[in-house]
Homo-oligomer: A and B are copies of this chain.
């Protein structure tokens, strides 16, 4: 008998019919003899509906009041799910974030969990009753309702798993797990049975929307084994856990990418101390996240600085950069927004050499020019022309034979 946390998102509980399907999953787990705690989001669409009403009455709705408004949604799903289970003769009881002791700071709409008491959940489990918990919400020290921001229900599930020392936290979603690549682009992409928290984080930060980075970080910090699987189909998912020897034997776990970046180049920058600090300080002050930075070798005391920013921030970034370029006497500012980033991710890179050169060769064979390169311990990224994005992902997937379950070289 294991203790499991099962989390279902808004799509999974988006209608009364879908609630019955989720109740099937819960019933099956309970009848198999497991203890479980269920965490639910609001019905899909409900949060948007409430936000639109708020926007209609206020240009800039107060965040404490937004939290009061939005926290109504999960009350509906936990109550309906509990009734559904009770109708099937399964003992269940609903709890709000407050009632399970999800205590947060006071940053309304994006609160951080400070502690989890979980007393009532423990007592309920001990009574043989399934706690059905409202995700996404908590309570601050002043007893006001807070919400945890995007992906907040995942965070509730992971935090409860940690507090209860659960054997596993299962995140049900609309995909079957984490893949070696986006299956819409790479048809042969394979579901990963197992990957490390770090790999999951690199994939999450690259726009793979399976799990929010915050939940993965939390799970890594407290060692919560996470499983991602589909609530629509039967079958195994992907297990996200601590890196182990087996994972390290594989050099590359997956390929991923991001076509939402734009490149800015400041040409002819005087190569003197403090120039880069000035430039990137101004961009950071505007809360624009710079991803990759490349500075050429200086020639005649002049250098070029290239960096990437999210496409949505390009107009603002450009306006800032042009002002500074003038100030520091740079020759010109150039922009290229038809670029994309492709990345290889794998904890095995640490112990396998030659991954980077195989990547460059594979891209070169397809005639794809590499504009920028950045590397971390478990990731190598290249910026290329956007039109080659799909081709690059497929080539890299083939090069590292990711469609095959790896024969781990001992």
Copies of chain A in the complex: 2
> Bound complex: CA of A243 vs CA of B76, how far in Å?
45
Chain B nearest CB from A66 CB (Å) reads 7
Whether the pair A54, B80 counts as a contact (CB closer than 8 A) is yes
User: Quick one: closest B residue to A62, CB to CB?
Assistant: B86
Whether the pair B65, A83 counts as a contact (CB closer than 8 A) is yes
The answer, yes or no, to whether A1 is at the interface (CB within 8 Å) is no
Q: Which of B54, B59, B96 contacts A79 (CB 8 A)?
A: B54
B residues in contact with A382, CB < 8 Å: none
Q: Which of B61, B76, B96 contacts A50 (CB 8 A)?
A: B76
User: Quick one: closest B residue to A66, CB to CB?
Assistant: B79
The answer, yes or no, to whether A87 is at the interface (CB within 8 Å) is yes
B residues in contact with A54, CB < 8 Å: 79-80, 83
* Interface of A: prevailing SS: helix
> Bound complex: CA of A50 vs CA of B79, how far in Å?
10
Number of interface residues of A (CB under 8 A): 37
The answer, yes or no, to whether A380 is at the interface (CB within 8 Å) is no
The answer to whether A83 and B57 touch (CB under 8 A), given A76-B50, A94-B65, is yes
Most interface-central of A59, A62, A83 (chain B CB within 10 A): A83
Proximity bits, A99-125, B CB within 8 Å = 1, else 0: 100000000000000000000000000
Binds B, one of A67-75, A198-206, A392-400: A67-75
Whether the pair A80, B53 counts as a contact (CB closer than 8 A) is yes
The answer to whether A16 and B53 touch (CB under 8 A), given A68-B79, A69-B79, A99-B143, is yes
The answer to whether A16 and B82 touch (CB under 8 A), given A72-B72, A72-B75, is no
Chain B nearest CB from A85 CB (Å) reads 9
B residues in contact with A145, CB < 8 Å: 96
User: Quick one: closest B residue to A59, CB to CB?
Assistant: B87
B residues in contact with A57, CB < 8 Å: 16, 19-20, 80, 83-84, 87
The answer, yes or no, to whether A410 is at the interface (CB within 8 Å) is no
> Bound complex: CA of A158 vs CA of B24, how far in Å?
45
Chain B nearest CB from A57 CB (Å) reads 4
B residues in contact with A84, CB < 8 Å: 57-58
B residues in contact with A62, CB < 8 Å: 82-83, 86
B residues in contact with A68, CB < 8 Å: 75, 78-79, 82, 94, 96
B residues in contact with A61, CB < 8 Å: 83
B residues in contact with A53, CB < 8 Å: 16, 76, 80
The answer to whether A79 and B94 touch (CB under 8 A), given A84-B57, A143-B99, is no
Proximity bits, A201-230, B CB within 8 Å = 1, else 0: 000000000000000000000000000000
Supply 13 A–B pairs (Cβ within 8 Å), ascending by A: A58-B86, A62-B86, A65-B82, A65-B83, A65-B86, A65-B94, A66-B83, A68-B78, A68-B79, A68-B82, A68-B94, A72-B72, A72-B75
